[in-house]
Amino acid sequence: MKKYVVWAGMALGLFAGSASGAFADDGPQLLTPHYTYNAKTIISGARLFATNCMACHSIKFMRYEFLTHDLGISRADVQKDIMLPTGSTFKDNMISAMPTQMAHKWFGLPPPDLSQMVRYKGQDWVYTYLLSFYQDPKRPSGWNNHVFPNVAMPDVLAPYGGIVNEHGKLLRAGDESPQKFKEQVTDIVAFLRFVSDPSVVQRHDDGPWVLGLLAFFTIVAYFLKKEYWKEVK
Amino acid sequence: MSFKEWFVKRSPLPEMWREHMAEYYAPKNFNIFYYAGSLLLLMVVLQFLSGFLVLAHYIPTAQGAYDSVYGIMYDVHYGWLMQYMHVDGVSLIFVLLYVHMARGMLYGSYRSPRELVWIIGYTTYLAFMAEAFFGYVLPYSNLSYWAGTVITSLLKSIPFIGGWVTTLVRGGPGMSGDTLERFMALHVTLVFLVIVGLIVFHILYLHKVGSNNPDGIEIKANKGPDGHPVDGIPFHPYYSVKDLFGFGVWLIIFGAIIFYAPTFHHIFLERTMSTPANPLKSLPDVTPPWYLSPFYAMLRSIPNKTAGILLMVFAVLVPFVLPWLDRNPVKSTRYRPVTRILLIIFFINFFVLAYLGEQPPLPKYFFVERLGAFIYVAFFLLLPFVSKFEPTRTPPARVRFHAH
């Protein structure tokens, strides 16, 4: 009897699974970060990124000078808080200090470049990924992730956010309140979104002028057309 | 002798100007759909300009392509503008191509004596498909790599020489820097020149027989004492100023997309374009860009590869014979309600297929995909019979036009 129940359950599950997209990316529901996309958020994210992420992850298409040009961080602040102490210049690309060979040795594969990560995976994915680490003694690093199972990356943000086990039980509280921690992660996501398309600053500066000029041209063209077409009976 | 006289005596341009602009008589009742043609010309010029600029920074090697494309985005002054113009321009060209073709189908512009205009135009559309595909592979993102692999592997199903042709097109057994070199040559020279040539012929052939109009009646049948059609107006200045206004509106749309939504919710610039080519990391589902996905959905709707390819090839080629499938003496569907309804179903079905072609290959879509493929094919097969027996209203003797 029990056997039939199991079979029926499996068949139902298969049916429900195929109906709801069994081949689709099965994973936890992605969360959406809520924030205002402005220089303040991005700069805060840039500082957090430099402190916590850039030891391993490059953002190779970015140059330090973009931070001063586009975001308005002062050169002194960039030098003090964001540049690696390895003697970078403002023209340099933002490359991590970790040698690729060592990265292979330590993690099995080098940490990916994050220049286009938000474009590629979407900001919801990055946000949820950063919030989904849990302690897993079976993994070599001691960490695992709900969004990206068996990921090689350890939870570097644990000191801020605390440590949870697989079922979400808090093992050790972080230095920051859960609210504050989510804000920090949001800032990092905002920074990576900026990194994936820094043209946003210039686009939004120039956009109104370009569209305004085109609107003016269109209005002139409209009246020109009206004038000519008066004759068409 | 003034310079003007001296020049006019030696130049064919004044005559060409008269023939194609100042004394080309077009029907006065063109509606909004008729903007698409001139906008397409504008977009081809813009694609050429932005393409020229991005080409100046592009490196066609497996190691350099992806980084050089993103180098344009990050390091070149206004590189993002060149690139977004070129990327979003493609999608907008296909929007216009579909509007332009839908208009031709609605008002019977493919009918005698304009069969060759339709055929040349449809060939241009196919050339645009090829141009878009080659351009798509050039950034050598992971999507480029796998889309290139999938599309070139379709050639393998050519009988006898399929394998050889595939190797020739790829420049080797798989996608590589060699593929990029030949695709760049095709994208930048051959296919582009073919498109330009076809557009020139499209316009020349159109101007030989004269433009159709929403009422589908021949304005040349009703000429005034001056020998010009009474319902016709010179293209220049009337339609040139009207198209100038169209340019303005269209550029506002184009600009708004470039400046505020350059990826257009990742429909115009897909997410997988943002990760470099990786032969070891296949994409879970490679879907073509939206403008090719209706045909991809049809290809996929049949589980047998060869049969699927045959259906797709049929779907792509069957519009060539459209002028001979329609057998009703009335051209415009304004006076053919049954065909108009069938056409609207056909257009909606095309959109549904485009949507389905973008979805992962899930069993829940199979039925709708097959239904969509069936409706697409059925439309062309039914048209000869429907057009012969459908009830029609009598078109007016003169075009319907309300003075502004």
Structural domains present in chain B? 16-286 (1.20.810.10), 292-399 (no CATH)
A210 to B74: CB separation less than 8 angstroms, yes or no: no
Pick the residue from chain A with its C-alpha nearest to B83. Answer: A199
- Half-sphere exposure in the Cβ direction for B355 (13 Å, CA): 9
DSSP label of B27? E
What lies within 8 Å, CB to CB, of B15 at 6+ separation is none
pLDDT at B221: 93
Residue A176 lies in a domain: yes
Residue A136 lies in a domain: yes
Mean pLDDT, residues A97-124 taken together: 91
Measured CA distances, A225 to A230, B29, B245 (Å): 9, 15, 7
What pLDDT is recorded for position A24?
43
Chain B's closest residue to A23, CA to CA, is B362
* Residues of chain A positioned with their CB less than 8 A from the CB of B74: 61-63, 66, 198
Any domain includes A89: yes
pLDDT band at A88 (very low <50, low <70, confident <90, very high): confident
CA–CA gap between residue B367 and residue B212 (Å, rounded) = 39
Tell if the CB–CB gap between B73 and A197 is shorter than 8 Å.
yes
pTM score over 0.80: yes
pLDDT at A143 over 70: yes
Q: Which pLDDT does position B257 carry in this prediction?
A: 98
Binary contact (B259, A203; C-beta < 8 A): yes
Residue A109: which domain range? 36-200
Task: Return the higher-pLDDT residue of A84 and B181.
Answer: B181
CB pairs under 8 A between A and B: 110
Judging contacts by C-beta atoms under 8 Å, the chain B residues touching residue A223 are: none
The predicted structure's pLDDT at residue A19: 38
User: Is A59 a member of any domain?
Assistant: yes
Residues from chain A that touch B244, judged by Cβ atoms under 8 A, are 221, 224-225
Tell me whether residue B355 is exposed, middle or buried, using C-beta atoms within 10 angstroms of its C-beta: 0 to 12, 13 to 18, 19 or more. Answer: middle
| pLDDT at residue B325 in the model | 97
Q: Which of B251, B363, B404 sits opposite A18 (nearest CB)?
A: B363
Res. A23: pLDDT tops 70: no
Handedness of CA B304, B308, B309, B310 (dihedral sign): positive
Cβ separation A221–B252 shorter than 8 A: no
Provide the pLDDT for residue A25: 52
DSSP letter (8 states) at residue B219: G
Q: Which residue of A has its CA nearest to B77?
A: A199
d(CA B105, CA B111): 9
Of A215, A218, A230, the CB nearest to B245: A218
Give residues with Cβ within 8 angstroms of A209, minimum separation 6: none
- Which two structure tokens, joined as six digits, stand for B268? 């115009």
Flag if A197 and B238 touch (Cβ within 8 Å): no
Sorting pLDDT into bands at 50, 70 and 90, what band is A46?
Answer: very high
Residue A141 falls within a domain, yes or no?
Answer: yes
What average pLDDT score do residues A25-54 get?
A: 90
What whole-number distance in Å separates Cα of residue B293 and Cα of residue B287?
Answer: 7
Q: What is the mean pLDDT of residues A2-8?
A: 46
Structure confidence at residue A26 as a pLDDT band (50, 70, 90): low
pLDDT for the residue numbered B196:
98
Contact check, Cβ <8 Å, A229/B258? no
Contact B274 A116 (CB under 8 A): yes
Q: In this complex, do B364 and A25 lie within 8 Å of one another by their Cβ atoms? A: no
Q: Quick one: average pLDDT of A38-67?
A: 94
Complex-level ipTM beyond the 0.90 threshold: yes
pLDDT of residue B247: 98
Q: Which two tokens stand for residue B301?
A: 């709707």
**What 3-state DSSP class applies to B175?**
coil
- Rg of chain A, C-alpha, whole Å: 25
Closest Cα of chain A to B82: distance in Å? 12
pLDDT, mean of each 10-residue run, chain B (404 residues): 92 95 96 97 98 97 96 95 97 98 97 96 98 96 94 92 96 95 97 98 97 95 93 96 98 98 95 93 85 94 92 97 96 96 97 94 91 97 95 94 80
**CATH code, domain with A132:** 1.10.760.10
How far is Cα B288 from Cα A105, in angstroms, rounded to an integer?
38
Number of domains forming the structure of chain A: 1
Point out the residue among B28, B75, B248 whose CB comes nearest to the CB of A214. Answer: B248
Inter-chain contact B245–A19, Cβ cutoff 8 Å? no
Tokens of B23: 């004394």
For residue range A154-171, list pLDDT tens digits in order: 999 999 999 999 998 999
